[in-house]
Amino acid sequence: MHSSPVYAASGAFVCFEGGEGAGKSTQSRLLRDWLVEQGHPVLLTFEPGDTEVGRRVRQIVLDPATGELSHRTEALLYAADKSEHVDTVVLPALARGEVVVTDRYVDSTLAYQGAGRDLDAGELESVARWATGDLRPHLTVVLDLAPEAGLSRFTERDRIEGESLEFHTRVREAFLRLAAADPGHYLVLDARAPVEEIAEAVRDRVRPLLGQAAHVDHGAAR
Ligand code: Z5A
């Protein structure tokens, strides 16, 4: 399948990617708070699991009780989560002119199921792009951190966090490769930096994207 990247014509689509414990949830919340302060309607979301179907998929793919999954099954489950997420959550919010901030998206599949597993990268990418109608973020922020450092920020492990250090190193390298191939749509930041410093660098890159995003008119509500 050959598809062309689609960038939403209204709203702004921002994605956080990176390994475990890199600070994606922390930074997506900080960005959401700042955008709200700036008067923009924001949707903060995540993959996998931010739809009714997605919650069930998340339970299957991340619960260690699931045990070994065929790698293609795993990739298709993540793809199902993505199509539901894009069609019912992300696209409607962008159409309303909102800023959509997602904690993980297609690059997580390319990194974890692609580089991390033994699937054919081209086939896997086709599936992930098809599932999302090839909708791309205007900006993907990669929070880059050595896997040892990220994993040590947690004590409990889910199914993928329990993978080897080599697996997580391949995942890290895949995120960096994707960013290097398309610098206009990526920002790579050292996730060891102080939280506020990272947040400021993110805001600097997001600011120019806000021209096509809606603004909350507080005056109209009065
Ligand atoms: N997955 C996949 O395989 N394929 C796919 O297509 C998709 C996902 C979409 C999702 O797990 C799993 O699904 C993930 C990939 C796979 N695999 N794993 N493993 P999740 O959603 O449960 O978790 P996560 O996305 O990996 O996020 P996380 O592990 O919860 O980490 P985080 O959101 O990046 O970090 P955080 O919660 O913001 O911060 C972690 C801790 O570090 C916390 O105590 C913070 O206070 C601290 N922190 C944050 N920033 C800093 C800085 N700058 N310095 C020091 N400490 C910090």
Run of H or E including 54: helix 52-62
pLDDT confidence of residue 150: 85
Paired strand residues for 15: 102, 140
pLDDT confidence of residue 118: 79
Q: How would residue 154 be classed by pLDDT, with cut points 50, 70 and 90?
A: confident
Mean pLDDT of 169-197: 97
C-alpha of residue 10 to centroid of ligand 1, in Å = 28
What mean pLDDT value characterizes the chain? 93
Predicted TM-score (pTM) of this structure: 0.95
pLDDT confidence of residue 56: 98
C-alpha of residue 17 to centroid of ligand 1, in Å = 9
* Per-residue pLDDT tens over the stretch 79-101: 999 999 999 999 999 999 999 99
Residue nearest to atom 1 of ligand 1 (CA): 108
Residue nearest to atom 9 of ligand 1 (CA): 47
Residue nearest to atom 31 of ligand 1 (CA): 21
Taking 50 as the threshold, does the pLDDT of residue 221 lie above it?
A: no
Strands of the 12-18 sheet, one edge to the other: 42-46, 99-103, 12-18, 139-144, 186-190
Residue nearest to atom 35 of ligand 1 (CA): 23
Delineate the domains of the chain, giving CATH numbers in brackets: 12-214 (3.40.50.300)
Residue nearest to atom 6 of ligand 1 (CA): 109
Q: Is 186 exposed, middle or buried (0-12, 13-18, 19+ CB in 10 A)?
A: buried
C-alpha of residue 135 to centroid of ligand 1, in Å = 23
Of 44, 104, 157, the residue with max ligand 1 atoms within 8 A of its CB, to mutate for a pocket test, comes to 104
Please list every protein residue whose CB sits less than 6 Å from any atom of ligand 1. 18, 20-26, 47-48, 62, 78, 103-104, 108-109, 112-113, 153, 158, 160-161, 191, 193, 195, 198
* Per-residue pLDDT tens over the stretch 53-76: 999 999 999 999 999 999 999 999
Sheet strands (E) in 28-122: 42-46, 99-103
